[in-house]
């Protein structure tokens, strides 16, 4: 417990634990300064770096921004977002796979973070818990705690490294005994930090179970689907087919989708995304739109207009869309190449990983992650230690540096 000087009592403890990613990054940079970039593996960066270890982007997007009209860059967007952006966000999310007989609306948010913030605040009472897998983007906890909510975890993988539906079910039942509102976070496809995507079979089982739970009409169940990495999980149609499974939901089972332009357009620093609501009930969607618009106004006012206009133009202009998709596919292949090298070596040397399929990160379970990552620094490998594992950010490691990493991790465990 930190004593407050000027802040309110609930705020005093914030930030008393130093940021882990930042600490790793600092050490990696110090090593680079000391022995040179070529000898250091910085496995902690969460953005795509090219084979020269430089920040990378879509040149089509750069050209677009460098020619953007002044009003589109600089004027306010409406509070909820440009109306065309909202329909474009829905288009980009579903790409033709919106389930039949459903209603969808969108609200512009600063990246996925802002979307998650709104769901935790507006779909949970203060003090309630959101359910997340035990392998999760640490910021879910920060967002929950910033807003006087907290998180509960289920065990994401069973002993056979399969998605652990029994654990999910157990925790859902437990939480629904204690609270009437429930938010369950799924980060799929291309889960951060494991690279896992739920299969259609798993989704079916999850959705059927949640439909059962929603038989109790006092319960309000929200599936919060974080699709930050969806565009690196495969072709648009393949990665979006599972949305069709969310049909015929009861009114009290609601799907909230956190869509982010950060990775999909590599404009992380422009802070643009959307919260898309999907329901079988038009009323629920009207409520969603009304409530979250006011939350926009009362937290950050409105969103980055330039990024919103980009999404509108991508949606309207097939040529622009195709150019970006081509560039994106190139990076997807690049990350896949890196991942294949790592995963094959891991298999060879008997290093267990979680079932990576796609995305920016591979995660290795570790009994003592902090000791292991410390050991790895002797080999000049800088990776983030999680509570029970080590995260290897293949998005930022050039292909030529991948061979040997799995072996060294195996040795460090």
**Segment 149-168, which members bind its own copies (CB under 8 A)?**
none
User: 377 has which bridge partners?
Assistant: none
Q: Is 217 in the site for its own copies (CB under 8 A)?
A: no
Of 387, 330, 398, residue with least CA distance to 39: 398
Dump strand ranges (E) for 325-413: 361-365, 381-382, 384-385, 389-393
User: Among residue numbers 31 through 70, which ones bind its own copies (CB under 8 A)?
Assistant: 46-47, 55, 57, 61-62, 65-68, 70
Of 100, 135, 367, 392, residue with least CA distance to 247: 100
Tell me which of 20, 23, 32, 79 binds its own copies, using CB under 8 A.
Answer: 79
User: Among residue numbers 307 through 326, which ones bind its own copies (CB under 8 A)?
Assistant: none
User: Among residue numbers 228 through 267, which ones bind its own copies (CB under 8 A)?
Assistant: 251-252, 254, 262, 266-267
Cβ 389 to its own copies shortest distance, Å: 21
Q: Is 295 in the site for its own copies (CB under 8 A)?
A: yes
Q: Is 178 in the site for its own copies (CB under 8 A)?
A: no
Cβ 36 to its own copies shortest distance, Å: 21
Cβ 5 to its own copies shortest distance, Å: 5
Instruction: Give 143 or 236: the residue with its C-beta nearer to its own copies.
Output: 143
- H/E element holding 313? helix 305-316
User: Among residue numbers 84 through 143, which ones bind its own copies (CB under 8 A)?
Assistant: 110-111, 113-114, 117, 121-126, 128, 139, 142-143
Q: Is 26 in the site for its own copies (CB under 8 A)?
A: no
Q: Is 4 in the site for its own copies (CB under 8 A)?
A: yes
Q: Judge contact between 278 and 99, C-beta under 8 A.
A: yes
Q: Is 219 in the site for its own copies (CB under 8 A)?
A: no
Q: Is 19 in the site for its own copies (CB under 8 A)?
A: yes
Biggest alpha carbon distance in the chain?
A: 62
Cβ 366 to its own copies shortest distance, Å: 25
Q: Judge contact between 242 and 203, C-beta under 8 A.
A: yes
Query: What CA dihedral angle connects 58, 338, 138 and 242, to 10 degrees?
Result: 80
As given in the structure block, the two tokens for residue 186 are 């799924």
Is cis: bond before 404, omega within 30 of 0? no
Tell me which of 26, 35, 39, 76 binds its own copies, using CB under 8 A.
Answer: 76
User: CA–CA separation, 227 vs 113, rounded Å?
Assistant: 11
Q: Is 10 in the site for its own copies (CB under 8 A)?
A: yes
φ, ψ at 340 (rounded to 5°): -60, -45
């Amino acid at each position: 417990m930190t004593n407050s000087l000027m802040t309110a009592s609930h705020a005093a403890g914030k930030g008393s634990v130093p940021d882990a990613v930042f600490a790793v990054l600092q050490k990696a940079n110090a090593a680079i300064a000391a022995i040179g970039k070529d000898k250091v593996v910085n496995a902690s960066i969460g953005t795509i770096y090219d084979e020269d270890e430089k920040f990378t982007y879509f040149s089509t997007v750069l050209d677009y921004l460098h020619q953007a009209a002044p009003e589109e860059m600089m004027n306010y967007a409406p509070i909820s977002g440009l109306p065309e952006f909202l329909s474009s966000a829905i288009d980009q999310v579903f790409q033709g796979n919106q389930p039949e007989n459903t209603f969808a609306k969108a609200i512009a948010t600063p990246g996925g973070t802002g979307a998650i913030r709104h769901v935790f605040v507006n779909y949970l009472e203060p003090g309630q818990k959101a359910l997340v897998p035990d392998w999760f983007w640490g910021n879910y906890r920060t967002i929950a705690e910033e807003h006087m909510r907290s998180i509960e975890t289920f065990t994401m993988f069973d002993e056979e490294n399969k998605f652990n539906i029994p654990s999910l079910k157990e925790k859902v039942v437990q939480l629904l005994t204690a609270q009437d509102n429930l938010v369950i976070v799924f980060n799929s496809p291309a889960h951060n930090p494991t690279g896992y995507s739920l299969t259609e079979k798993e989704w079916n089982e999850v959705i059927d179970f949640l439909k059962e739970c929603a038989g109790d009409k006092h319960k309000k169940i929200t599936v919060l689907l974080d699709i930050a990495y969806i565009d690196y999980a495969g072709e648009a149609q393949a990665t979006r087919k599972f949305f069709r499974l969310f049909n015929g939901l009861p009114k009290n089972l609601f799907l909230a989708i956190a869509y982010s332009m950060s990775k999909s357009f590599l404009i992380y620093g422009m802070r643009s995304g959307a919260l898309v609501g999907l329901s079988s009930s038009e009323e629920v969607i009207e409520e969603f739109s009304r409530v979250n618009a006011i939350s926009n106004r009362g937290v950050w006012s409105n969103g980055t207009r330039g990024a919103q206009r980009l999404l509108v133009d991508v949606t309207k202009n097939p040529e622009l869309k195709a150019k970006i998709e081509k560039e994106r596919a190139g990076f997807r292949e690049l990350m896949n190449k890196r991942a294949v090298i790592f995963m094959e070596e891991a298999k060879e040397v008997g290093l267990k990983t979680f079932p990576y399929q796609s995305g920016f990160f591979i995660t290795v379970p570790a009994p003592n992650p902090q000791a292991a990552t410390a050991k790895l620094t002797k080999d000049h490998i800088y990776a983030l230690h999680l509570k029970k594992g080590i995260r290897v950010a293949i998005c930022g490691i050039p292909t030529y540096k991948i061979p040997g990493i799995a072996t060294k991790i195996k040795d460090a465990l």
